[in-house]
Amino acid sequence: MAPLALAARLLQETLRFQQPPDALLADAFRGPQRVGPRLRQAVGDALYAALRDLPRWHALTTALQGQGSAPLDVARCRIQPGWCDSVIRLAWPDAALPALAEADASAAAEVGDWQARARAVHLTPVPDTVRLGLPDWLIERLRSAVGPEIDALAAALRRPAPLDLRVNALRAKRPAVLAELQAAGLPAEATPHAPWGIRLPARVPLQGLEAYARGAIEVQDEGSQLIAALVGARRGETVADFCAGGGGKTLALGADMRDTGRLYAFDTVARRLDALPARARRAGLTQVHPMAIAHERDERLQRLAGKIDRVLVDAPCSGLGTLRRHPELMWRHTPATVAELAALQQRILAAAAALVRPGGRLVYATCSLLVEENEAVADAFTTALRGDFVRLDAQAPLADARVDDPASVVEDGALRLWPHRHGTDGFFAVAWQRRG
Ligand SMILES: C[S@@+](CC[C@H](N)C(=O)[O-])C[C@H]1O[C@@H](n2cnc3c(N)ncnc32)[C@H](O)[C@@H]1O
C-alpha cells in the first residue's frame, strides 16, 4: 500500500481503539515486504505526529475542505471521506519527507502542496485545544490541577520520552553499568531520584547490549521505579503485586527483596502474565508466583487475607500520564470512561487492602494525571477505612529506599510526578499502613 494511504489507514484504525498504534504499525510491517526501515519510521512518525496534534489538523482540514469549524469528534471524523488522508498529509513531519519522496515522489509533492495551503489558513483566535493539542475536557481538568503550568505540561506531553532503565540490584551496581554504557558510546546518566535508574535518549537499541543480555538492566520509567521504592519490599517478606500486568514493577519488587520471601503477581488478564516467568528468570528471580484471577474478589485470594506484608495496587487507569508514549489515549478516554475507571479502582483497592497483614503496607498507584483517578480514589479509601488504615507521608518511605530529594516528588504526602516538572511519565501513588 502507498505510504500516505497506509498511514491514513493506520490513523483510522488507531481511532477505533481496538489496538494501540505501535501494535498496528508492527502488524502492518510484519512479514516479507519491500518497505525499508526509513519509510517504516516515516509512516510511524507521521501517525504519532497526527495523534499529538489532532485538534490542529482537524481545524485545518475543516478549513481547507470549506466545512467551517465543526467540533472534533473522532468517532465521526475518522469515517468521514478524506479526513484521515488530510490529517496525515498535514501532520507528515519535514524530517520524514525525504523517505516519502524516495518511495513516491508525487505523494511527497501532494504533502508539500497540502501543507502550503494550510500555512495560508489563519486560525484566529487559536482555540486552547489547538494550542495545547489536548481535548477540551482534559484541559479543564489539568488546568484545575496545575493552573498556569498547563502550557508547560502540554509541551512536555508532546516531547518524546527518554529511555529509562533500572539496574537489577541482583546482578549489578548502578555505577558499573553506567560506566559500561558510557564506554559503549551511549550518553547514559543517572536518573535524578530513583537509586537504580539510568536515563538514555529515546530509541537506543538495547537488545545488542551485553548488560541487557545478562539481565543487569530492565526498561522502566523512573516514575515506575519510584512506585516500587514506595512499596519498600524487603528480604524475606510476602509481597503481592495485585495488578501485575507484564510484571515491570513485580521485577523491581523482586530485586528489592533480593529474591527471597514470596512475591505474588496477580492479574485478571492471564495473557498479560504470560511473559513474566521468562522475564523473572532473566532477572535472576525465582520467588515470583504469577496467578491469573477472575476478578478482584476471586475466592482463591481469601486464603491470603490479612497475611501479606506489602500489597501494591498499580491500578488499571486512563494512562493519561503516558501521553508522551501513547498520545491516542487522550482520544480514547472521555469523562464517562474515567468515571467507570474510578469506580473499578475503588473496588480493586478495597479488595487488595483485605490482603494486608496488621502493620503491613498498602500502596495505590496510577499513571494518570487526573484527580478523579488519584486523590479522589485515595481519599475515599482513607475515609472509608480510617479505623483500619493510616495514610503515610510518602517522604519517609522514599527516603528509606534511598530516593534522592524525596521532597521534590511528594505533594500533600503522595508521590506525584509530572512530565513537565520531573521529566518522567505522570504518576501518582499513596501508601497506607494497616493498624497493628
Ligand atoms: C497499570 S496496568 C499494570 C502494569 C504493571 N503493574 C507494570 O508495571 O507493568 C493495570 C493492570 O491491571 C489489570 N487489572 C484490571 N482489572 C483488574 C482487577 N480487577 N484485578 C486485578 N488486576 C486487574 C489489567 O489487566 C492490567 O494489566
What would the pLDDT profile of 23-60 be if each residue is shown by its tens digit? 999 999 887 666 788 999 999 999 999 999 999 999 99
Q: Evaluate if pTM is beyond 0.90.
A: yes
Identify whether 138 is part of a domain: no
Which amino acid belongs to residue 247? G
Distance 212 CA to ligand 1 centre (A): 25
Distance 249 CA to ligand 1 centre (A): 11
Identify whether 152 is part of a domain: no
Residue 168: which domain range?
163-219
Identify whether 8 is part of a domain: yes
Residue 1 has pLDDT above 70, yes or no: yes
Weakest mean pLDDT among 65-69, 86-90, 343-347: 65-69
Q: How confident is residue 205, by pLDDT bands cut at 50, 70 and 90?
A: confident
420 and 293 in a single domain? The answer is yes
181 and 226 in a single domain? The answer is no
Give the span between the Cα atoms of 112 and 116, in whole angstroms: 6
The CB density around residue 41, as the number of other CB atoms within 10 Å, is 15
What would the pLDDT profile of 366-424 be if each residue is shown by its tens digit? 999 999 999 999 999 999 987 899 999 999 999 999 999 999 999 999 999 999 999 99
Q: Across residues 138-152, what is the average pLDDT? A: 97
247 and 204 in a single domain? The answer is no
Q: How many domains does the chain have?
A: 3
Structure-block grid coordinates of residue 57: 489538523
CA atoms within a 13 Å half-sphere pointing along the CA-CB vector of 27: 12
Q: Across residues 78-103, what is the average pLDDT? A: 94
377 and 254 in a single domain? The answer is yes
16 and 95 in a single domain? The answer is yes
Identify whether 394 is part of a domain: yes
Residue 122 has pLDDT above 70, yes or no: yes
**Residue 128, marked binder:** no
Distance 257 CA to ligand 1 centre (A): 21
Mean of all residue pLDDT scores within the chain: 95
- The pLDDT of residue 33 is 66
Q: Of 112, 133, 154, which residue sits at a domain end?
A: 133
Residue 318 has pLDDT above 80, yes or no: yes
268 and 408 in a single domain? The answer is yes
- The pLDDT of residue 168 is 97
Query: φ and ψ at 411, to 5 degrees?
Result: -130, 125
Share of the chain above pLDDT 90, in %: 90
Over the chain, what HEC string results?
A: CCHHHHHHHHHHHHCCCCCCHHHHHHHHCCCCCCCCHHHHHHHHHHHHHHHHCHHHHHHHHHHHCCCCCCCCCHHHHCCCCCHHHHHHHHHCCHHHHHHHHHHCHHHHHHHHHHHHHHHCCCCCCCCHHHHHCCCHHHHHHHHHHHHHHHHHHHHHHHCCCCEEEEECCCCCCHHHHHHHHHHCCCCCEECCCCCCEEEECCCCCCCCCHHHHCCCEEECCHHHHHHHHHHCCCCCCEEEECCCCCCHHHHHHHHHCCCCCEEEEEECCHHHHCCHHHHHHHCCCCCEEEEECCCCCCHHHHHHCCCEEEEEEECCCCCHHHCCCCCCHHHHCCHHHHHHHHHHHHHHHHHHHCCEEEEEEEEEEECCCCCCCCHHHHHHHHHHCCCCEEEECCHHHHHHCCCCCHHHHEECCEEEECHHHHCCCCEEEEEEEECC
Q: Across residues 329-356, what is the average pLDDT? A: 97
211 and 301 in a single domain? The answer is no
Share of the chain above pLDDT 70, in %: 99
- The pLDDT of residue 163 is 94
At residue 154, the 3 state secondary structure works out as: helix
Identify whether 156 is part of a domain: no
CA atoms within a 13 Å half-sphere pointing along the CA-CB vector of 164: 24
211: domain CATH number is 3.30.70.1170
- The pLDDT of residue 182 is 94
Identify whether 155 is part of a domain: no
Q: Across residues 175-188, what is the average pLDDT? A: 94
14 and 110 in a single domain? The answer is yes
Identify whether 110 is part of a domain: yes
Q: Across residues 267-283, what is the average pLDDT? A: 96
Identify whether 393 is part of a domain: yes
428 and 281 in a single domain? The answer is yes
Using CA positions, which residue lies closest to atom 18 of ligand 1?
A: 296
Residues with CB under 6 A from ligand 1: 224, 242-246, 248-249, 266-269, 272, 295-296, 314, 316, 348
Q: Phi/psi zone of residue 33: left (φ > 0), alpha (ψ -120 to 50 degrees), beta?
A: beta
304: domain CATH number is 3.40.50.150
Residue 265 has pLDDT above 70, yes or no: yes
Weakest mean pLDDT among 122-126, 134-138, 163-167: 122-126
Give the span between the Cα atoms of 86 and 88, in whole angstroms: 5
Q: How confident is residue 17, by pLDDT bands cut at 50, 70 and 90?
A: very high
Q: Of 133, 153, 172, which residue sits at a domain end?
A: 133
Beta bridge partners of 365: 314, 429
Distance 268 CA to ligand 1 centre (A): 7
187 and 249 in a single domain? The answer is no
246 and 194 in a single domain? The answer is no
Q: Of 219, 237, 252, which residue sits at a domain end?
A: 219
Task: Encode 357-368: b = buried (16+ Cβ within 10 Å), e = exposed.
Answer: beebbbbbbbbb
- The pLDDT of residue 397 is 98
Catalytic site includes residue 317: no
- Strand segments, DSSP code E, in 113-179 are 163-167
Report CA dihedral (316, 322, 327, 330) to the nearest 10 degrees: 50
Using CA positions, which residue lies closest to atom 3 of ligand 1?
A: 245
Give the span between the Cα atoms of 60 and 418, in whole angstroms: 30
Residue 76 has pLDDT above 70, yes or no: yes
Give the span between the Cα atoms of 303 and 110, in whole angstroms: 65
Structure-block grid coordinates of residue 38: 526509513
**Residue 94, marked binder:** no
79 and 175 in a single domain? The answer is no
Which position has the higher pLDDT, 35 or 237? 237
Weakest mean pLDDT among 47-51, 125-129, 267-271: 125-129
Which amino acid belongs to residue 37? P
- The pLDDT of residue 170 is 95
Top mutation candidate among 267, 300, 348 for ligand 1, by most atoms within 8 Å of CB: 267
Q: Across residues 257-268, what is the average pLDDT? A: 98
CB 408 within 8 A of CB 222: no
